[in-house]
Structure 1
Amino acid sequence: MSNISVLQIGSDDWTPKMQSKDIDWQYTSILDLPTMLAFQKDPYVLEQSYVVLTDDVLDSTLLSSQLDAWPPLRTLYFAHEVTPEFQAVLDERRAFFIQENTPEAINKCIQNDLSSEQIGFSTRFSEAQFLPLPSEGIHFKREGRFSAQYSGNFGLEWQQIGTLQTYETDFTSTQANLVWLDYSQTGSVEVQVQFVFYKNNDIQTIQVIEGAALRELTTVGGLQDYQAYQILVFARGEGLIDLHALHQRRSRHGLGMLLPGDDWHLTTENEEILSYFNPGDRQAPLIVNFSGLRLHGDAFEMKTSLDELGTPYLLFTDSRIQGGAFDIGTPVYQQAVIDMIKKAMATLNLKPEDVILTGGSMGSFPALYYAADIKPRAVMIAKPILNLGTFTSQAEFAQLFNQDWILDVRRYLVGRMNPEDTEELDQRLWQHIQNIDWSKIKISLFTMSQDEYDGNSLLQLNDFFTAQQATVTHVTAVGSHTDKIPEMISFFMTELKKARDNMRQEDQ
């Protein structure tokens, strides 16, 4: 059975050239499109995964009207003659422009670059993944598991300062990865990263990244038959280097990273923000979801469920340190998140009361936090983690499960490990959200009866909502923090469907 289905629309039928067991290829001309749709179970639904427009001239009002009614991020085209009206529809529906226009190229693009599989990971400068090689006169120290620091004079020539642990499965044959280095430096010091690929115990090729390219999405890999590889780190000049992580994601050749059509943003302070915007059916509500903890791989959450809902949505996932830092940080970072939400609102011509903020576990914190900045219609959270000071002070808890993630969260947000910071971190949420009118924001809350993460904050949250006269729908399930994930998603979707239907009834 095919994994991907495609509807080709154009003058020439490519079906004989698209004999792939992984793609169910279907064809229609523009004139026959209405007839083909009439024979569907639902003529208003796009039944295929993608639509491919294979004509070099796009000017049909019939076709553009149909694309306008179909979901976004599902159309591919390579035409170079497109009327302004047709191009406006393609842009609004976030269609993918493909450079090559052969059946072979389109087939490869669909299978390799437009799959829904999210492949992203980070090679950390931790004890397990980084072998430091400080030379004489160079000082080396670690700060938790996300910071490896060198200071001193490295000289005028490049010298190796360490090796990152790698795995053969980090790359797939013929596939390339997009990488960038999360680090900081002072003085004249520079960093260089070398990807050394081996075949038959000999060096096959060396790919070097340095300078500005370290903080850009740079392509590496894409080899046919390498057997192993190393990542070598070099330095030169004088100053301090603070190495955090080498982020790697499967290349989609300009069509996205974790998902086709997602967005990569680097703040002026070199912090990464990953987001994915789907304008859906263009009607309220706009759902903004913050992902939970991602210890072993980068990924957005809730996409499949929100696709079924049909409304516009904006997803965030936090790739900083190992697992994320609750989508908060410096004023620059937080303003970037706020600006992205407001940009999605402006694109859809929606108001704050058309927005719903959602998140589970780690994602519950930003869903509540940014409510003070967006003032949405509703906030829907599950398994909340709210008091970051108390939460990150549980040293013994981190050792059991999270590889010291919560300790590194504290280092990242405060810059040190000191019990004196617990109260300030605990108050970060409450101080930020206390001065808005929560009586105008509907709350949906899903909690666990034996939540060992931050369950003690639930009473504080309930007292806060009571004092604020907020309307709260609260469901409790039996179990610990990591239990009942399907029930949690079901709760979200039930509440979102009710909110969507109520909002649209009000607008009629």
Structure 2
Amino acid sequence: MRKKIEIIQIGGKKLDFPSEVIEKFNYVILPGNYNFISDNEQVEIFQENKFNPQKSRTIFVLGNDAILLQNFPSLLEQFPAYQVLFDSKASIKESQRKILDRKFSIPIDLENEDELQNIVDIALNSSQKQYGYKLSMDYLEVRESFKGAYRKKGNCYLELSGDFGQEMKQIISWKIHPHGIEANSKVTFTPEIAITSGTVELEFKIFLIDQSTNEIINIFKGSPEEFRKQIKIISNESDYVRFVGVSLYAKGGVGKIEIGQIHFRNHLSNNSMMLPNGKRIIDSKVRNEELFYYFHPGDLKPPLAVYFSGYRSAEGFEGRGMMGRMGCPFILIGDPRLEGGNFYVGSDVLEHEVVKVIKEKLKWLGFTNEELILSGLSMGTFGSLYYAADLEPAAVIIGKPLANIGSIAMNERIRRPEMWGTSLDMIMHFGGKANNDIAEKLNEKFWNKFETGTFKSTIFAIAYMKDDDYDGIAFQMIADKLRKNSPEAVILHKGLIGRHNDNTLGVNTWFIKQYRNILCHDFGRKLDYRL
């Protein structure tokens, strides 16, 4: 049986949640002057003056007489970000208010019953698992009634051009997807799509379909922009899983459109993506494709640690638990494009926004680039190294480096036959074709960027596979470039025997060890062996 979501209220009057809501939560109310040290109620919010990590998903509500609003800043600053709500009418000591602000705590009128739903929404969001999937390009079918031209670019996108007529007609359908939508749940629908010429109007229809009868239960209509902005939400209010079908309709005369991946994801309030307060960067130049990012202020002390997710078919962020246990502020960055990511490169708009987000969070924290760590594993190593040229961080911590995306694709035929065809889609995505010339240009894109970096005081901690079948020359090239262009940079490295995926445990262990050492020796943090 799934553990109930926990809401702990400290001070104030008992909240009058409806009975059906109470059934979903473990609701505990404590007096405003509750002694967290003696912990007579054994709620164990703190253990030896340290916040209990098992309460990291708990929602906390501070009433107007909560002593934490006036005293004990060392305790308040340990509460989790985004998960503290406080009485908006309470008198709050200025030092405590600053802590609440830095933890993105939420003011709420606890006497207003309508606002209680905010607590419920936040609790439900924090308990949801990351869940999302995309419909494979193999599911896509162009309708025979469309008389224009169309061309499929691998599994990157489909290009359609021609006369779409003056009446809204179906041009594409996607096969019914067996994953569907879970019972009593809501999902968002996000298409990668762009009109590249003409004044074409587009409309999607999402069909909820009964599993046993194939009967259409409900239809959700909306423009790509309405779905992207979450103006339209798809809900399955039944007690059964519903299959899902998708169709695209168009009108508007002569034009051209491009259609990439289409995504279904759990719906979270406040337009959050995958995690509560997860955000997205939209590439307005390339089919409105996206990257995700999630910022957590941690203990507000240096460094800011940025972790780029590895290649993953399941949509969402990677490394939240690991980064959270470090205690410092962190950013998770994820790439939901293609089958499981596209190495964090895109148009100048997308790449500029990645750098902008990191710099904005550094400024908000009051840190410099000398208090920044970039990190990642496998695909995440590319993002760490690529954006290091812009940010010149204190450290780059990576495992199984991949730098030559073009070479990865070219290795698909001989060194890694039919193991990772998505590497060919990366070349297609970059240049519109899949050939050696474009592959070489994609390699050059990385090295031209990396060589612009000035790494006078950067530590590069790199674990690599000696027989890597994806990019066997990445480590040596990185080391050679650094010795030539940035001889002041420190290179810590360890080579492990095997191919790219042969010793993930060994790489991860070394990766975490380097994080632990740098946090301790360069930033004066105490070692936490839970990492």
Structure 1 length normalisation: TM-score?
Answer: 0.89
Structure 1 letter corresponding to 2:9 = Q
State whether structure 2 residue 437 is matched by structure 1 residue 420. yes
Q: What's the counterpart of residue 203 of structure 1?
A: 216
126, 129, 137: which one aligns with 1:117 = 129
After TM superposition, the structure 1 stretch with the greater mean CA deviation from structure 2, 467-476 or 369-378, is 467-476
After TM superposition, the structure 1 stretch with the greater mean CA deviation from structure 2, 346-355 or 67-76, is 67-76
* 8 Å CA contact 1:72, 1:279 repeated in 2: no
* 8 Å CA contact 1:58, 1:82 repeated in 2: no
Shift of 1:266: 1.9
Alignment of 1:391-402 (within 5 A): 391-396=408-413, 400-402=418-420
Q: What's the counterpart of residue 229 of structure 1?
A: 244
Shift of 1:246: 1.4
Aligned partners of 1:353 and 1:30: how far apart in 2?
Answer: 41
* 8 Å CA contact 1:325, 1:413 repeated in 2: no
Structure 2 letter corresponding to 1:497 = R
Change (3 A) 1:98 1:231: farther
Aligned partners of 2:14 and 2:293: how far apart in 1?
Answer: 36
Aligned partners of 2:490 and 2:79: how far apart in 1?
Answer: 33
Alignment of 1:14-29 (within 5 A): 24-29=26-31
Point out 4+ residue stretches in structure 1 off by more than 6 angstroms.
Answer: 14-22, 56-60, 97-100
Mind listing any 5+ residue stretches in structure 1 that lack a counterpart? none
Alignment of 1:10-409 (within 5 A): 10-13=11-14, 24-34=26-36, 37=39, 40-46=46-52, 48=55, 49-53=57-61, 55=63, 61-62=69-70, 65=73, 68-73=76-81, 75-77=83-85, 79-81=87-89, 85=94, 88-95=98-105, 109=121, 112-115=124-127, 117-124=129-136, 126=137, 128-185=138-195, 186-199=197-210, 200-210=213-223, 212-217=225-230, 218-225=232-239, 227-237=242-252, 238-254=254-270, 256-269=272-285, 270-294=288-312, 296-396=313-413, 400-402=418-420, 404-409=421-426
After TM superposition, the structure 1 stretch with the greater mean CA deviation from structure 2, 329-338 or 420-429, is 420-429
Structure 2 letter corresponding to 1:203 = I
Change (3 A) 1:83 1:256: farther
Structure 2 letter corresponding to 1:283 = K
* 8 Å CA contact 2:12, 2:64 repeated in 1: no
452, 477, 481: which one aligns with 1:435 = 452
Aligned partners of 1:103 and 1:327: how far apart in 2?
Answer: 39
Aligned partners of 2:458 and 2:292: how far apart in 1?
Answer: 27
The CA RMSD over aligned residues, in Å, is 3.2
Change (3 A) 1:370 1:201: closer
* 8 Å CA contact 2:389, 2:450 repeated in 1: yes
Shift of 1:24: 4.8
Shift of 1:313: 0.6
Change (3 A) 1:380 1:236: same
Alignment of 1:457-476 (within 5 A): 457-467=474-484, 468-469=486-487, 470-476=489-495
Aligned partners of 1:161 and 1:83: how far apart in 2?
Answer: 60
Deviations 1:199-237 (A, max 9, x none): 454432211011631442341123224643311111111
Aligned partners of 1:98 and 1:400: how far apart in 2?
Answer: 55
After TM superposition, the structure 1 stretch with the greater mean CA deviation from structure 2, 250-259 or 154-163, is 250-259
Change (3 A) 1:283 1:60: closer
Shift of 1:355: 0.3
Deviations 1:89-138 (A, max 9, x none): 433202357899589957864664212621122224x1x21122142532
| Percent identity between the two aligned chains | 23
State whether structure 2 residue 506 is matched by structure 1 residue 504. no
Which secondary structure state, in structure 2, belongs to the residue aligned with residue 114 of structure 1?
Answer: helix
Aligned partners of 2:171 and 2:524: how far apart in 1?
Answer: 63
Shift of 1:395: 4.2
Deviations 1:33-60 (A, max 9, x none): 4455587532231452323216479896
* 8 Å CA contact 2:156, 2:428 repeated in 1: no
State whether structure 2 residue 454 is matched by structure 1 residue 448. no
After TM superposition, the structure 1 stretch with the greater mean CA deviation from structure 2, 232-241 or 435-444, is 435-444
Structure 2 length normalisation: TM-score?
Answer: 0.85
Aligned partners of 1:189 and 1:36: how far apart in 2?
Answer: 67
Which secondary structure state, in structure 2, belongs to the residue aligned with residue 444 of structure 1?
Answer: strand
Q: What's the counterpart of residue 528 of structure 2?
A: none
Aligned partners of 2:440 and 2:225: how far apart in 1?
Answer: 39
* 8 Å CA contact 2:68, 2:76 repeated in 1: no
Which secondary structure state, in structure 2, belongs to the residue aligned with residue 224 of structure 1?
Answer: coil
Shift of 1:168: 4.3
Aligned partners of 2:222 and 2:327: how far apart in 1?
Answer: 41
Change (3 A) 1:83 1:257: farther
* 8 Å CA contact 1:272, 1:320 repeated in 2: yes
